[in-house]
Amino acid sequence: MEELAGRPIKKKVVAVVGGGLVGALNACFFAKRGFDVEVFESREDIRKAKIVKGRSINLALSHRGRQALKRVGMEDKIVSQGIPMHARMIHSPSGKQSPIPYGKKGQVRLPSQLTMADGSNDQIKADLIVGCDGAFSAIRKQFLRRSRFNYSQTYIPHGYMELTMPPIDGEFAMKPNYLHIWPRNTFMMIALPNLDKTFTCTLFMPFDEFEKITTGDEVIEFFQKYFSDTIPLIGVDALKRDYFRLPAQAMVSVKCSPYHINDKCVLMGDAAHAVVPFYGQGMNAGFEDCIVFDEILEQLNEDFSAVLPEYTRVRVPDDHAIADLAMYNYIEMRAHVNSKWFLFRKHVDNVLHCIMPKTIIPLYTMVTFTRTRYHEAVKRWHWQDKVRHLRHLHTLNSLGVFHTFEHFSIVIQGSFEVTVLSTASIKSGCNSQWVNTLPFRNI
């Protein structure tokens, strides 16, 4: 209770429903503003639980999430508990490993009755309820009772299963600063490092493919065919045991709008926009919800009647965009990274970005290493794709791009240099290093 001119002023009370990642961070943001904050969580405090039950999946922390943590003074503490990933490491069926950097040098990714978080059953009257209670949100169910509330959920036909790759002689079994990917077109496996020197291997595959494998010998046969280099690293016995330890888990994508009810309730995180995990942006988008809401609170003087509708207006198109991008990126991760044309395009993108950093920005860079709004990143990506498309000569000519018949060359004329990109080689305007590329092919 504060006082103004001798009269007590009651602080606004915010009830955060859900004590997970987004709920906990939101509580920090509201508390920093001086609100009275109460956190409600239906599960017991995992810090006190003897046995912690539930599913897990590795998390990637990138720029958006780090900026939110920085606002509440938590960035350094959280980052110190992670392992930086500088690039993807692609594993071919033959066992060959090929790195694909994420961005420019230095850009990395890091991995009915409510119960109070302290275990009590107290009830409170709140000025604002913030629903951060996950993809199957109890708060969001109340929104469904209202007219003009749009909601959809989509289960993809693929599930995921986690396996563990133990350390070898106390060290990581593979290079730790990479997202390891075994892309196999219709399915894939990834591996992310942990602080205890293990890797968490996650197999993403259609449910009907999981169900075809019914014995330990069939598991080994499957891995021998598609992931043979991992068998000695995970272990035959461990594969036979762990594959059947838990069934493959489902993945759901949730979209809804609006995110608020009047000036009393708002949804954030997975409660508002659960996404599939293939862009590594689920946690980052949820954390960015917190910072966006805080910025709007500042702009509108903490007037909930103005803040909540503005938050919906600003955030819904961005969250829907990242949900769609996450779906798209699964196709890229499991199939496109096998394409020589895709790898060539990545080289061209990176060179153009180095030469024209304000004009051409790779989609992954915009999403992962900036706070460019998600839906604006998608718009810019589509525009850039049209600019790059070699069939649109009138567009390319405006950038100084010329096409030849047997081979093609892109000539970018700057004030100080002319850089030539051809099917034989690429001379990077960033580091003058020649990179072997591939024969040109129309699409």
CA distances 92 to 35, 36, 177, 200, 415, Å, are: 53, 54, 18, 19, 42
- The string of pLDDT tens digits covering residues 17-38 is 999 999 999 999 999 999 999 9
Question: Cβ(353)–Cβ(360) under 8 Å?
Answer: yes
- The string of pLDDT tens digits covering residues 179-234 is 999 999 889 999 999 989 999 999 999 999 999 999 999 999 999 999 999 999 99
| pLDDT computed for residue 42 by the predictor | 86
Distance CA 74, CA 81 (A): 11
CATH for 13-336 is 3.50.50.60
| pLDDT computed for residue 419 by the predictor | 30
| pLDDT computed for residue 20 by the predictor | 92
CA atoms within 13 A on the CB side of 183: 19
pTM to 2 decimals? 0.80
| pLDDT computed for residue 343 by the predictor | 67
Domain ranges in the chain are 13-336, 340-396
| pLDDT computed for residue 107 by the predictor | 58
CA atoms within 13 A on the CB side of 326: 26
- In the chain (443 residues long), the average pLDDT of successive 10-residue segments reads 56 94 97 95 80 70 95 94 89 90 60 44 83 96 94 94 95 94 92 92 95 96 97 96 93 97 97 93 96 98 97 98 90 65 70 78 90 94 75 42 35 30 34 32 29
Distance CA 283, CA 297 (A): 21
| pLDDT computed for residue 102 by the predictor | 72
Please calculate the CA angle 122-124-130 and round it to the nearest 5 degrees: 110
Max CA pair span of the chain: 84
Contacts of 261 (CB under 8 A, 6+ apart): 142, 143, 146
Distance CA 282, CA 253 (A): 10
